[in-house]
Structure 1
Amino acid sequence: MIGAQGHEPAMLASRDLASGKGHRDENFPVGSLILRPAVRAPVMAFYRFARAADDVADHPHATAREKLALLATMHATLDGRSDADPAALALRRGLAGTGVPLDHAHDLLRAFERDCVTPRTRDWDDLIDYCRLSAMPVGRFMLDVHGEARTLWPQSDALCAALQIINHLQDCGRDRAALDRVYLPDDLMAAHGARIEDLDAPTASPALRAVIVALARRCDVLLDQASGFAGAIRDRRLGAEVAAMLALARDLVRLLSTRDPLAQRVHHRKSTAARIALFAAGRHLVLGR
C-alpha cells in the first residue's frame, strides 16, 4: 500500500503511479501527425517522460516523500547515475547524439518537485516562475529538437506559460479537491475578496469569477506576445502545430472569460478542438500565418 508503514519509497516505481492517460487525452496536440516523422520519436519520448513525472506528482495517495524519491530517481536516470526509471532512460537514450540537452527534462522534474511541497502560489511572478519550470521547457525542447533558433524562446515561453495557466484555470476546482493545490495567486485572490474555500463550492463566487477572468485576460496578453511565433519558425510543420495551439488557446481564453470552470464545460470537445486546430494549421501552411 502506498505510504503504509514500513514501505520504503525506493520500492515504488513511477509506473506504479501511472494515471493511464496518453497523448490523445491532452488539451493540446502532442506529437501530432503534422510533425515531421523524424522528430516524432524524441517528441513522444519527452511526452512519455513528462507524463510519467506528472503522474507521480499528481498521485492522490502517494506521500510527498515517496513522490520526491521517485522524481530523484528520474533525475539520476537522466544523468546516467541510474537506469532505474524506464521513461527517463528512454528519453536519455533517445536524445543521445542529437545535441538536444536534458536540461529541459530536469526543469520539468523541478516543477513537479515544487508541486509536491508548495501547493500555493503567492503572486503573478511566482506563477510565471512556476511556468518557467513546468511549461516553458516543453516549448524550448520542441524548438531544440527541430533545430530552431533560440531567439524564438521568448515567444515560445509566452505561449507555453499561457497554455499552462489556461490548464490551471480549467482544473482549478479539481486541483483543489484532489490535491489541495491552488495555482490562483494569493494576492489576486485577496484583491478580489476571494477565498481558497470558494473553490470547494459547486459554482464560483463572483469574487472567484473575477480572479479567473483577470487571469484569462493576462493569458490573452501572453498570447499577443506569441502572435508572430508560428510565422517565425522555419519548420513549416512545427509552425502549423504552433498555429493550432495558439488558436485553441485563444478559444479557451474566450470560454474561461464567459463560463464558470466549477460548474460549466471549459474544455474543448474533441471534434471542436480538431476543427479549430485543423483550420489554424491549414491556414498557416497555405498562408504562412
Structure 2
Amino acid sequence: MPSQFTASTSAWTREAASRYCARLARSHYENFTVGSWLVPRDKLRHIYAVYAYCRTVDDLGDEALPEEADAGGQGIDTTSLLKDSLAQRRPDVAGDVREFRLALLDLWQRELEACYSGLPTHPVMVALQETIETFDIPREPFLKLIEANRMEQRASRYATYGGLLDYCQHSANPVGHLFLYLFGYRDEERQRLSDSTCTALQLANFWQDVARDYQKGRIYLPQEDMEQFGYSEAELSQGVFNPNFQRLMAFEVERAMDLFRVGADLVPRLSGVARLDVSLFTRGGVSVLEAIRRRQYDVLSGRPSLSRARKARLFLSSWLGWKLGLRFRVPG
C-alpha cells in the first residue's frame, strides 16, 4: 500500500505541510527557547520547517531501525514515511542498520534536491521548499547536515580534536547558518562567529553526555586527548572517575568556553528576537559547562543539567540584557 510520501504532491499542500512541521516542532517544545514565542507568526512557520528538517535528518542518522513499526499514537514520526518508501525501493538493506540509515539519508537528499529543482513529496520538504524560496537559502547547510549523519554511520571515535571539529562543522555549524538566513543575515563574519557558538554548543552537549554517548557506542573525547591525560577507553567503559579524567574534562570544558568567548561577539551584531535567541543559546551552553565544573567534572556518575529555576533565570537575564542593550560576557 503506497504511503503518503510516495503519493502525488497534491496530498500535501504547503499550508498542510506547514501545519505538519508546526505539530512536530511543538511536540519537541523543550528544544525551543522562550524567545521563539516572540517570533512573528509568518516567520515562525519557516523556523518550524527548518527545525523539522534538522530533527528528521538527525532521527534518520541516530534513531531509525529497520524493524521499527510505525509510531502510531506515540507522536509524529516523520521517518515512517521514508521507511515505507525505502521498503519498496531498497528491500536489500532491511537487515543492516548502518546500510538502512545510509539509504534513508540518500532518499532524504533526493527529496532535498527536489526542493531546488522539482516537486518534493515529503511534508517536511514541501514546507521547506517555501522557506528556501522565501529566504534564498543555498543547499550547502542542508547537505552538510545530511553528511554529518553519514559520518555518524562511519565513525564512532575521533582520533584528533581537529577531526571532531570537522564533524561539528557538518553537524552543528550549518544550523547556525540557517538561523542567520532566516533573520536576514548572510555575511561571512556573522557566520564565522556563529560557527564558534554552534561548535561550542555541540561540545558542551558532548561533555555533558560522555556516559550516555558511551552507552550508545560513541566516544567524542578525542583519542589524542585521552592519551595525553592518561585516561583509557577501558577505564571509560567501567565508569572510572579519577584525577586523570578530571584533568581531561577540565581541558575540554575550557576549550569549549574559549569558543563561546569568541562566538559571544555575534550577539551585539544581531537585533530583535535573533539577538535574544542567540544570547539564550550562549548563556545556556555556558551554564552547562559551569554545571560540569560544579560537579568537579564528574559526568560519569550523573548528567549535569539545568534546573527549571536556572533556565528561568537565564531567560530573565537574557531578556533584560536584550531590552537594555547590555552585552553578555562569558566568564573568564
Give the TM-score category using the shorter length: 0.7 to 0.9
Q: Does residue 152 of the first structure (1) align with residue 156 of the second (2)? A: no
Residues 189 and 202 (structure 1), Cα distance of their counterparts in 2 relative to 1, 3 Å cut: closer
Per-residue deviation, 1:198: 3.0
2:313: which partner in 1? 275
| Offset from partner CA, 1:143-164 (integer Å, 9 cap, x none) | 1111114221111110000000
2:100 is aligned with what amino acid?
A: E
In structure 2, do the counterparts of structure 1 residues 41 and 20 end up closer, same or farther at CA, with 3 Å as the change threshold?
closer
Contact 1:245 1:277 in 2 (8 A): no
| Aligned partner letter, 1:272 | R
Deviation at 1:270, TM superposition (A): 3.0
Shift of 1:120: 0.9
Shift of 1:272: 1.8
2:256 to 205, 219, 222: 219
Structure 1 distance, partners of 2:49, 2:320, is 27
Of 286, 289, 293, the match for 1:253? 289
Matches within 5 A, 1:69-148: 69-80=103-114, 83=120, 85-148=122-185
CA contact (8 A) 1:136 1:161 kept: yes
Partner of 1:68: 102
1 CA distance for matches of 2:63 and 2:128? 22
Partner of 2:243: 206
Displacement, 1:22?
4.2
Provide closer, same or farther for how the CA distance between residues 75 and 228 of structure 1 changes in structure 2, counting only shifts above 3 A.
Answer: same
Aligned match of 2:52: 48
Q: Give distance in 2, aligned partners of 1:60 and 1:224.
A: 36
Deviation of residue 167 (structure 1)? 0.6
- Is contact 1:78-1:89 (8 Å) kept? no
Matched, 1:287 2:325: yes
Q: Could you tell which deviates more after superposition, 84-93 or 257-266?
A: 84-93
Instruction: Provide TM-score, normalisation by structure 2.
Output: 0.74
Runs (5+) with no aligned partner, structure 1 = 1-10, 12-18
Q: Which has the larger radius of gyration?
A: 2
What residue in structure 1 maps to residue 301 of structure 2?
Answer: 263
Residue of structure 2 equivalent to 1:8: none
**d(CA) in 1 for partners of 2:144, 2:163:** 16
**Aligned equivalent of 1:4:** none
Residue identity in the other structure for 1:214: F
User: Structure 1: how far apart are the matches of 2:252 and 2:49?
Assistant: 32
Q: TM-score, normalised by structure 1?
A: 0.85
Structure 2 stretches lacking a partner, 5+ long: 1-5, 7-23, 67-96, 328-332
Distance in 1 (CA, whole Å) between partners of 2:34 and 2:201 is 13
The worse-fitting range, judged by mean Cα deviation, of 46-55 and 264-273 is 264-273
Number of residue pairs the alignment of both structures matches: 270
For 1:241 and 1:177, locate their aligned partners in 2 and report how far apart those are by CA, in whole Å.
32
Shift in alpha-carbon separation, 1:20–1:247, aligned structure 2, 3 A: closer
Give distance in 1, aligned partners of 2:306 and 2:287. Answer: 9
